[in-house]
Amino acid sequence: MTGLVLNIIIAALVSWIIFITIDIIFKLPERGGVSGADGIGHAIAADGGSLNGGFMMGNIVCSPDASAGVLLAACGVFVAGIPGGLIAAVVVYVGNRICNDPGYAGFTGAVWATFIISWFGLIGITPDVFIAGMVIAILTIQGISHRYASLLLNRLWRIRA
pLDDT of residue 30: 59
What is the pLDDT averaged over residues 86-111?
88
Sign of CA dihedral 109, 68, 104, 86: positive
pLDDT of residue 33: 62
Give 23-72 pLDDT, tens digit per residue: 778 776 555 566 777 888 889 999 999 888 888 888 777 777 788 899 99
What is the pLDDT averaged over residues 115-119?
97
- Asked whether the predicted pLDDT for residue 125 surpasses 90, the reply is yes
- For 85-115, b/e burial (b = at least 16 CB within 10 A) is bbbbbebbbebbeebebebbbbbbbbbbbbe
pLDDT of residue 18: 92
Domain ranges of the chain: 2-159
**pTM (two decimals):** 0.85
pLDDT of residue 29: 56
pLDDT of residue 10: 97
